[in-house]
Chains A and B, each alone.
Chain A
Amino acid sequence: MIEILSGAPLATVQDLGRLGALRWGVGYSGAMDPLALICGNLLVGNDRDAAAVEAQLFPFEARFNADGAIAVTGADCAATLDGAPLLPWASTPVRAGQRLRLDHPKPGAWSGARAYVCVAGGIDTALALGSRSTQLRGAIGGHEGRALRPGDVLPVGAAPAGASSEPCGVMPPALAMPLEVDGLPAIRVLPAAEYACFSPASQEAFWSGAYKVTPQSDRYGFRLFGPELLPSVPLELRSHGIVPGVIQVPHGGQPIVQMRDAQPSGGYPKIATVIEADLWRLGQIPIGRSVRFLRATWAEAIEAARVNERWIDEVARLVDLFRTRSARS
């Protein structure tokens, strides 16, 4: 079991999301950085989609009520266990009673926004529509369908075999698979249905401008600020289905990117869609940082997803080899 000690708001239980429920109007939810969640799970021997705690405001503190193993991935929050420093993106044994603390992410070679506390056995809250992800809007999944509060106690599943073996770490994917344009993190996007309705100047500005993540950004959507995007003629649309990654442009001309807690429908014109393979990159951009958009083709978007999968498979293979080797020695 894990007991939440800190009052930092907006920490939630998340797995890889509630896929397949959009037809009932239920959005995905799930980790904003699925690669960090998968890596953390691999490091503690879990299934890739086991649930973890996603922390996005700090300091975050929790206490473990049983022996086990954990891995903290995502943003490097200078994590400590009873005051002793922990390696980022690595597994470590924990003993009952130990306290984990995550601090504000510090700038380094890569600065993220969200950290994942993965526990051997996974956070074992009840499944809702096939997922443990917290869906705040519908108040389902996770712990009582809400963000975590001090005193909350989260159940942990049975630890998988080999969970407590030698500590092991992996390279953060942002360093293994970097993507930048002019020194800014880049996000690959596909032009969306209403792209052609935007003025040529707006289209040009979208590809060449930097867009800053504003403080009005959360798990529902990122409101960006950058060069104005205006349609050639005013557009009126009926509400239609949308998914995480869709970049809508309301009347003010500043884009909104739908994120994991996006509602399943909307009516603003869509200029582009972040490719699924790059949603984790955007999910880790801290408020105040700017991004650039890179135009991708369908083929490139699919290849990018394959590159992610191959990278994860390779990490899984290396971690497995390391674990087999440690078990022998």
Chain B
Amino acid sequence: MSSIFDRVPDLAAWVAAADIDVLVLKGPDGSLRLERAPNGSVVVADRPAHDGPQAASGGAATKVRATLAGSFLTRHPVRADRLVEMGDRVAAGQAIGLVQVGDLLAPVCAPHDGVVEAVIAEGGALVGYGDPLFWLARS
């Protein structure tokens, strides 16, 4: 059976050619994280076993979903920095993203303590109810 992990060299070449710093792929049979190293080469930063993200984190990972439709923001409009970066440890209830509807900014809160494994939706993208926004691993 062909797996995404058989294609890592192709993916790494593609990431190196494009101006991409991090590539995270998630699927039912596991997840893959490629990172551009300081010297420009692309390395496999995280290659958990085929039983999914939980193997890497020791607990189940949660998909954090949009609870209303609007523009997904990774950064508060008043701030220069994103609310969270991949790998950040967050506490239950902490705002990790925003969904903007007009001038309303609805926080997307971490449902439990954990580590941000991936930001799924693109900042600025229109998202609908139930769309996945983050992967949050239990810590």
Contact = CB atoms under 8 A, between A and B. Distances in A.
Contact of A85 (B67, B94, B103, B104): B94
B78 A168 contact: no
A92 B109 CA distance: 11
Interface string A159-181: 00000001111111001100000
Interface of B: 67-68, 76-80, 83, 91, 93-95, 98, 100-107, 109
Nearest to B102: A318
Given A88-B78, A325-B68, A169 B98 contact: yes
A175 B77 contact: yes
B101 A109 contact: no
Central interface residue in B79, B80, B93, B103, by most chain A CB within 10 Å: B103
Central interface residue in B78, B91, B105, B109, by most chain A CB within 10 Å: B78
A258 to B, nearest CB: 28
A-B complex: 6 closest residue pairs judged by Cβ atoms: A169-B105, A171-B103, A318-B104, A87-B95, A108-B79, A167-B107
A216 interface: no
Nearest to A109: B78
A76 interface: yes
Contact of A110 (B67, B78, B94, B101): B78
Given A84-B94, A109-B79, A170 B105 contact: yes
B91 A170 contact: no
Contact of A89 (B67, B68, B78): B78
Central interface residue in A92, A168, A171, A325, by most chain B CB within 10 Å: A171
A166 B94 CA distance: 12
Interface in A60-106: 76, 84-90, 92-93
